[in-house]
Amino acid sequence: MRNAVKFGAVAALMLAGFANAAEPVSDAEIVALMKASFKERGIAKMDRLEQSDLQKQCSTWSGKELPQEVKASLEKAAMDSIVYPADGKYLGDWKEGEKIAQSGRGLQFNDTEKTVAGGNCYACHELSKAEIAFGTIGPSLHNYGKLRGGATEQVLRYTWGRLWNSHAYAACNHMPRFGAAGILTDEQLKDVMALLLDPESPVNQ
């Protein structure tokens, strides 16, 4: 979630500074310390320290098993947040989608409002066998469309939803909420969809 702070990991580091405190450290104290430690720079504003309800819950349960009722509630809320293409068209240009997958630009302090954000997909996933550098945080997406039988309506809606807000399918996972968080535009999402599902895309070779 690069456009907001996930407090669980950060809080663990900051608690070291309170190690000798006589009283337990509250969430409010940690938030206050963080707000005093950060400053706005470029397009990176202080509002990034404000968590959504989803992020608050995920931080609360970080490192612990997520209760089933909490998981179900978060996934339902995420599913309800998905906005499907108004024109009913899901696939754009896979060549543009490949550029988005390769780009890690956008939403950083040294970017501007005009910077076109990328998805940085290769940081977490294998997509094309031609790409020799990729992350393994997420599963391999090579042959994504081929393995799912092509761009059926069910596959289109699932894939779009996963890109829009992945918490709809796995609460508190590490994948960015590309649509819900406004990281990628609808047109960019369509291009990434094409990268994953177009039979001519390198993903499906």
CB neighbour class for 33 (10 Å; exposed up to 12, middle 13-18, buried from 19): middle
Residue 191: band (very low, low, confident or very high) from pLDDT cuts 50, 70, 90: very high
Rounded Cα distance between 202 and 184, Å, is: 21
Question: Is pTM, for the whole model, over 0.75?
Answer: yes
Amino acid in position 169? Y
Residues facing residue 44 across a β-bridge: 41
**Sorting pLDDT into bands at 50, 70 and 90, what band is 16?**
low
Same structural domain, 63 and 99: yes
Verify that 141 and 191 share a domain, yes or no. yes
124 and 147 assigned to the same domain: yes
Same domain, 30 and 120: no
Tokens of 16: 């070291």
Reported as a single tens digit per residue, the pLDDT across 50-66 is: 899 999 999 999 999 99
Closest CA to 148 of 96, 199, 83, 200: 199
* 176 & 198 share domain: yes
pLDDT-wise least confident of 41-45, 83-87, 134-138, 177-181: 41-45
Tokens encoding 24:
């337990």
Structurally, the chain folds into a number of domains equal to 2
Confidence grade of residue 185 (pLDDT, cut at 50, 70, 90): very high
Which residues make Cβ contacts (< 8 Å) with residue 174, sequence separation at least 6? 1, 124, 137, 138
Query: 3-state DSSP call for residue 144?
Result: helix
Q: Per-residue pLDDT averaged across 111-129, rounded? A: 95
Each residue's pLDDT tens digit, 149-173: 999 999 999 999 999 999 999 999 9
User: What range defines the domain where residue 83 resides?
Assistant: 38-205
Q: Report the b/e string of 79-92 with b at 16+ CB within 10 A.
A: eebbeeeeeeebbb
Neighbours of 202 (CB within 10 A): 17
CB < 8 Å & 24+ apart, contacts of 156-161: 156/90, 156/91, 156/193, 156/197, 157/84, 159/90, 159/193, 159/196, 159/197, 160/82, 160/84, 160/85, 160/90, 160/189, 160/193, 161/79, 161/82, 161/84
**84 and 147 both lie in a single domain:** yes
77 shares its domain with 148 = yes
Element (H, E) at 130: none
Q: What is the CATH number of the domain that holds 135?
A: 1.10.760.10
Average pLDDT, the chain: 90
